[in-house]
Amino acid sequence: MELRCAVQKYAWGKTGKSSLVAQLSQGNSTVPIVEDDPYAELWMGTHPSGPSVIKSSNEPLQNHLLSNVDSLGDEEKKVFGTDLPFLFKALSVAKALSIQAHPNKKHAEELFATRPDLYKDPNHKPEMVTAWLGPFEALCGFRPVADIKFFLQEIDELAAVVGKSACEALVKAESDSEEMQALRECFSALMNTSEESVAFTLKQFEQRIPSLSAEKKDALQCDLFTRIATDFPGDVGCWSVYFMNYVVLQEGESMFLGPNVPHAYIFGDCLECMACSDNVVRAGLTPKFKDIDTLCSMLDYQAGPVDRFRMQWSTVDEFCQTCSPPVPDFAMARLRLPASATVDKAYSLPVRCNASILLILQGLATSAETKEDLSFGQVLFLKAGQQLTVQVKGEQDLIVYQAFANV
């Protein structure tokens, strides 16, 4: 079944036709693109904040699942009930998203019970991000402590806003546990500093940057800092550049972000798959509510290189790969069928034992089952055990990403 999917126009999204999300939306919608509007996210799934509907009937996908429970896999139903456990997204990021983290399942239930106005569901939100169409920039997890110490020593304005006692505690820390506690104190002190002090120190550093040597600017990642500070003047999240790993994912590379991992996407296009939730705890780079106390208390303060978050894809055959994060809610597959390799034959996608959602990201093909064309931007729902066989058409490779439960 072909789906029509929700578009979210958050302020950080790329505008008009420059947005991958806007381009994809034209594949399953007749609503014209508004050039000045930001097109941030395309949601594919059943989450009530952006539910997909069946294109032919306009029936919400979730309603269809409730009345057609055989669409879901047996193990999928046993673990998750009669709904899809995952939410599949495409994102187009023009400027940084908020400094954020997602609660674990128990904490999500507590937040939903006590503050349903802010936290809309009781589910956790582990997620996997995959870069698409060029480099994708993000901040992710706390940097190695040695790096943070370096920045605190080199940037007086940062040390001033963190505070002398918190900085000294981090410098003196020796064991891993002492470092984690000291890092918690530093980051909490930063996030709880008055807005006036934050704005003053940011402005001081911005004014000092032009006097630095090219080598020093590079060492202090001044270009990254300036880009974010330009978009979010006076925001405490600008200083997070010096606490969190800066990572650039190349096309097709992926990261997995578990509960309580601090992160912020900065620029680029990506695909995201996550547990079916919209729970976000924020504390910077956003006009939305900043729940600083909750964020600082829940974060994973383990410090280290960003490589610990990278995911590897496994080869299924010469055309298909899969990636399985350490959670049951979701996994992903991707298919690249070269036009030249499939001129005279069709390809059958591996049959999944659970329901799945597919996104056509490039190319044109014909479905052997329906004889209909599949093209860029189309989103398909396959029930558990359903076969899809495709024949590539035209001169472009066919690229498809697929999300499904990991049980």
- Residues near 317 by beta carbon (within 8 Å), at least 6 away in sequence: none
List where CATH 2.60.120.10 sits in the chain. 2-140+248-287, 314-404
Q: For residues 33 and 44, what is the distance between their CA atoms, to the nearest angstrom?
A: 19
pLDDT of residue 36: 97
Angle between helices 195-208 and 222-231 (to 10 degrees): 130
44 C-beta neighbours (distance < 10 Å), count: 31
In 3D, which of 394, 361, 370 has the Cα closest to residue 251?
Answer: 361
Residue 210 near residue 188 (C-beta atoms within 8 A): no
State yes or no: pLDDT of 344 exceeds 80.
no
Q: How do residues 58-90 score in pLDDT, each as one tens digit?
A: 999 999 999 999 999 999 999 999 999 999 999
- Residues 132-159, mean pLDDT to the nearest whole number: 96
Residue 288: pLDDT band with limits 50, 70, 90: confident
pLDDT of residue 348: 94
Residues β-bridged to residue 136: 249
Q: How do residues 290-336 score in pLDDT, each as one tens digit?
A: 999 999 999 999 999 999 999 999 999 999 999 999 999 999 999 99
What's the one-letter identity of residue 372? E
State yes or no: pLDDT of 52 exceeds 60.
yes
pLDDT of residue 258: 96
Residue 108 near residue 279 (C-beta atoms within 8 A): yes
CA atoms within 13 A on the CB side of 258: 11
Q: Tell me which architecture the domain covering 145-238 has in CATH.
A: Orthogonal Bundle (1.10)
Q: For residues 354 and 81, what is the distance between their CA atoms, to the nearest angstrom?
A: 12
Residues designated as active site = 282
Q: For residues 127 and 403, what is the distance between their CA atoms, to the nearest angstrom?
A: 12
In 3D, which of 230, 234, 169 has the Cα closest to residue 197?
Answer: 234
64 assigned to a ligand binding site: no
127 assigned to a ligand binding site: yes
153 assigned to a ligand binding site: no
pLDDT of residue 253: 97
Three-class SS state of 293: helix
Question: Which phi and psi (to 5°) does residue 37 adopt?
Answer: -85, 145
Maximum separation of any 2 CA atoms in the chain, in Å: 70
State yes or no: pLDDT of 388 exceeds 60.
yes
State yes or no: pLDDT of 21 exceeds 60.
yes
How is domain 2-140+248-287 classified at the CATH fold level?
Answer: Jelly Rolls (2.60.120)
Residue 287: pLDDT band with limits 50, 70, 90: confident
Tokens of 340: 């030249």
In 3D, which of 244, 217, 303, 204 has the Cα closest to residue 98?
Answer: 244
DSSP 232-292: STT-GGGGGGGTEEEEEEPTT-EEEE-TT--EEEEEEEEEEEEES----EE-SS-SS---H
Percent of the chain with pLDDT over 70: 99
Residue 5: pLDDT band with limits 50, 70, 90: very high
Tokens of 279: 């729970």
- Residues 247-255, mean pLDDT to the nearest whole number: 97
Q: For residues 369 and 387, what is the distance between their CA atoms, to the nearest angstrom?
A: 8
- Residues 91-101, mean pLDDT to the nearest whole number: 96
Query: ∠ CA(211), CA(213), CA(215), 5° rounding?
Result: 150
pLDDT of residue 267: 97
State yes or no: pLDDT of 134 exceeds 70.
yes
Three-class SS state of 77: helix
pLDDT of residue 13: 97
Model pTM above 0.85: yes
- Strand 244-249 and strand 100-101: the pairing is unpaired
Residue 343: pLDDT band with limits 50, 70, 90: low
List where CATH 1.10.441.10 sits in the chain. 145-238
Residue 187 near residue 151 (C-beta atoms within 8 A): no
Q: For residues 205 and 221, what is the distance between their CA atoms, to the nearest angstrom?
A: 12
pLDDT of residue 355: 98
pLDDT of residue 79: 95
Q: For residues 95 and 145, what is the distance between their CA atoms, to the nearest angstrom?
A: 27
Residue 345: pLDDT band with limits 50, 70, 90: confident
H or E stretch covering 197: helix 195-208
Tokens 């001169």 belong to residue: 395
In 3D, which of 89, 17, 19, 93 has the Cα closest to residue 248?
Answer: 93
- For the 314-404 domain, the top CATH level (class) is mainly beta
pLDDT, the chain, mean: 95
pLDDT of residue 307: 96
In 3D, which of 61, 35, 49, 68 has the Cα closest to residue 7?
Answer: 49
318 assigned to a ligand binding site: no
Question: Which phi and psi (to 5°) does residue 19 adopt?
Answer: -90, 130
